[in-house]
Structure 1
Amino acid sequence: MTEPALPTAEAAACAARFACLGDPTRVLLLHAVASGGPSTVGELAGRLGIGQSTCSHHLRRLAEGGHVLLSKEGTATRVATNTARRPDHVHALDLVLGLLPARLGAAEEPAGDVSVRAMEPGDWGAVRRIYGEGIATGNATFECEVPSREVLAAKWSPEHRWVAEVDRTVAGWAALTPVSTCDCYAGVAETSIYVGADARRRGVGTALLRHQIAAADAAQVWTLQCSLFPENLGSLALHRNAGFRTVGVRERIGMLRGRWRDTIILERRKPEPPSPATP
């Protein structure tokens, strides 16, 4: 018997997540809250022309499914969309529609001889060579040629450039690129991880990403994001295992070697939110 492309357990989880939307009244309620902002149960019942007890019943089902949040405000119950769960719902729907790979391998634990240190001037040759090996796979980047050292040095944050070594040889690198020069995005950066062709499946990427995350957290970089091709299953597994979540899919976002390609946007938030004084 052929094994289904979407694992049965994953299919069951997706079905449970969307089961409560099988009633038109719940769909109308969720749309009313999402488009109109937080409301009370009484306001929603009046807007839809249904009884308040019926409205409460359907909202409880939506809350159980993780779609809305219910909170008491005096004698009234206030309803708001559960924005924290929205990426989970997007991820589940994209899995069902085949926009995301259904099966991901586990990221390898670093071998004992893998170490990570800050990138040094003498590493640029190895870094650019490994970049080229990633380009050659056709699933790492839209770049078709390795950028110059000058371009990369101007692009990457000087404090967040790392290399991994195996037997004192550079086996991979990681770097952060600020997403904007605006102060409000000072703690948001895009992560890049590349592993040399001869060093793959040794946990080099895992070691680099863990080190990068720890350094970013210490430096108050509160959001790390990346854009990956759906075909890059190894990098998808690596980032998801490190706490990245799917934000969305950008379909036909760019052309590579004569073919339109999709990308999956993932992000990781620092566990402790920035203080109010932080931009």
Structure 2
Amino acid sequence: MALSQENADAYAASFGALADATRVRLLHSVAASGETTVEALADELGIGPAACAGHLRTLADVGFVGLHNESVVCRRGFPQVTTTTAKPLRLPDDVNVRPLLPRDWPDVRRIYAEGIATGLATFETDVPSRAALDAKWLPDQRWVAEVDGAVAGWAALTAASSRPCYAGVAETSVYIADGMRGRGVGKALLHQQVSGADAAGIWTLQSAIFAENTASLALHHAAGFRTVGIRERIARLNGRWHDTVFIERRAPSNARVRASAPPADQTG
């Protein structure tokens, strides 16, 4: 079957955008990081910010990257640049991650409230009840992180759908307590969450993160998540429209496939 003129034009535009070595280097850097800034890219490549911004606009016009103020997000890369060399994972020595216990619920809901207060963590405006969270979170995929015996954060998985074909797809949630950010709590929680999901045969972890929440995006990309796309003006919070970055992580090909479906009352 002959290639349509429309598709040929689209391919030509994409190839044309990559006909410049600087733009190829820029796309490589954005794809490797998942999310970065114009200033950081200009410094990394040793080019002026104005020239850098111009090249990025060309890449954005054909859908390789997304531009949001000073933020640059990878929308689609080419295969040879989206794979990075794995680095040894260094987890903080003072963070202990364990399964969530009944006594942890007050701290979990408190930390949830602190996340809501940032305006960058969720579209929720009120903390869900313990009963609501207990009903939707997968029972064996709930974790809390402790620092010096105090709950410093939590992570949980929610079934993405009640349909059996999506039994191995789950939505991630990770929240860090005020005063505990930047100490490796999120890294430790995500490491446990990913390890637990792989062991349970969950083949896809996914999340939608506010485009402005660059710290969370960087944390997830470092844990093996990739950017799938940008959902522009997807919902409003306190009267303001927000974009979300849809990310996912696929389990290794040799991971055990989850055999059981989520409970029928969990809807997607």
Q: Same fold, TM exceeding 0.5?
A: yes
**Partners of 2:7 and 2:166 in 1: CA distance:** 35
Q: What residue in structure 1 maps to residue 204 of structure 2?
A: 223
Contact 2:168 2:257 in 1 (8 A): no
Q: Equivalent residue of 1:126, what SS?
A: helix
Q: What residue in structure 2 maps to residue 180 of structure 1?
A: 161
| Correspondences of 1:179-258 after superposition (within 5 Å) | 179-258=160-239
Q: Equivalent residue of 2:126, what SS?
A: coil
TM-score normalised by L of structure 1: 0.64
TM-score normalised by L of structure 2: 0.67
Q: What residue in structure 1 maps to residue 150 of structure 2?
A: 169
Among candidates 55, 73, 98, match of residue 67 of structure 2: 98
Deviation at 1:110, TM superposition (A): 4.0
Q: Are the structure 2 counterparts of residues 26 and 132 from structure 1 closer, same or farther at C-alpha, using a change threshold of 3 Å?
A: same
Q: What residue in structure 2 maps to residue 28 of structure 1?
A: 8
Q: Are the structure 2 counterparts of residues 259 and 186 from structure 1 closer, same or farther at C-alpha, using a change threshold of 3 Å?
A: same
Q: Are the structure 2 counterparts of residues 96 and 197 from structure 1 closer, same or farther at C-alpha, using a change threshold of 3 Å?
A: same
Deviation at 1:262, TM superposition (A): 0.8
Contact 1:109 1:202 in 2 (8 A): no
**Partners of 2:257 and 2:249 in 1: CA distance:** 20
Q: What residue in structure 1 maps to residue 25 of structure 2?
A: none
Q: Which amino acid aligns with 1:206?
A: K
**Partners of 1:115 and 1:275 in 2: CA distance:** 26
| Correspondences of 1:65-84 after superposition (within 5 Å) | none
How large is the RMSD of aligned CA atoms in angstroms?
3.2
Deviation at 1:198, TM superposition (A): 1.5
**Structure 1: unaligned runs, 5 residues or longer:** 1-23, 32-57, 66-87
**Partners of 2:195 and 2:123 in 1: CA distance:** 28
**Partners of 2:133 and 2:258 in 1: CA distance:** 32
Taking only the aligned residue pairs, the percentage that are identical comes to 52
Q: Equivalent residue of 1:117, what SS?
A: strand
Deviation at 1:111, TM superposition (A): 2.8
**Structure 2: unaligned runs, 5 residues or longer:** 19-30, 36-58, 74-88, 261-268
| Matched pairs, number | 200
Contact 2:116 2:125 in 1 (8 A): yes
Q: Equivalent residue of 1:201, what SS?
A: coil
Q: Which amino acid aligns with 2:67?
A: G
Deviation at 1:228, TM superposition (A): 0.3
The CA deviation string for residues 221-255 of structure 1, in whole angstroms up to 9 with x for no partner, is 00000000011111000000111011111111111
Q: Are the structure 2 counterparts of residues 201 and 110 from structure 1 closer, same or farther at C-alpha, using a change threshold of 3 Å?
A: farther
**Partners of 1:260 and 1:96 in 2: CA distance:** 20
| Correspondences of 1:2-21 after superposition (within 5 Å) | none
**Partners of 2:122 and 2:258 in 1: CA distance:** 36
Q: Are the structure 2 counterparts of residues 176 and 215 from structure 1 closer, same or farther at C-alpha, using a change threshold of 3 Å?
A: same
The CA deviation string for residues 184-227 of structure 1, in whole angstroms up to 9 with x for no partner, is 00000000000000211100000000000001001110000000
Q: What residue in structure 2 maps to residue 138 of structure 1?
A: 119
Q: Are the structure 2 counterparts of residues 109 and 185 from structure 1 closer, same or farther at C-alpha, using a change threshold of 3 Å?
A: same
Contact 2:123 2:237 in 1 (8 A): yes
Q: What residue in structure 1 maps to residue 138 of structure 2?
A: 157
Q: Equivalent residue of 2:224, what SS?
A: coil
Q: Equivalent residue of 2:249, what SS?
A: strand
Q: Equivalent residue of 1:144, what SS?
A: coil
Q: Are the structure 2 counterparts of residues 182 and 135 from structure 1 closer, same or farther at C-alpha, using a change threshold of 3 Å?
A: same
Contact 2:66 2:230 in 1 (8 A): no
Q: What residue in structure 1 maps to residue 76 of structure 2?
A: none
**Partners of 2:178 and 2:190 in 1: CA distance:** 17
**Partners of 1:99 and 1:225 in 2: CA distance:** 21
Contact 2:153 2:174 in 1 (8 A): yes
Q: Equivalent residue of 2:140, what SS?
A: helix
**Partners of 1:277 and 1:170 in 2: CA distance:** 30
Q: Which amino acid aligns with 1:252?
A: R
Contact 2:168 2:258 in 1 (8 A): no
Q: Equivalent residue of 2:205, what SS?
A: strand
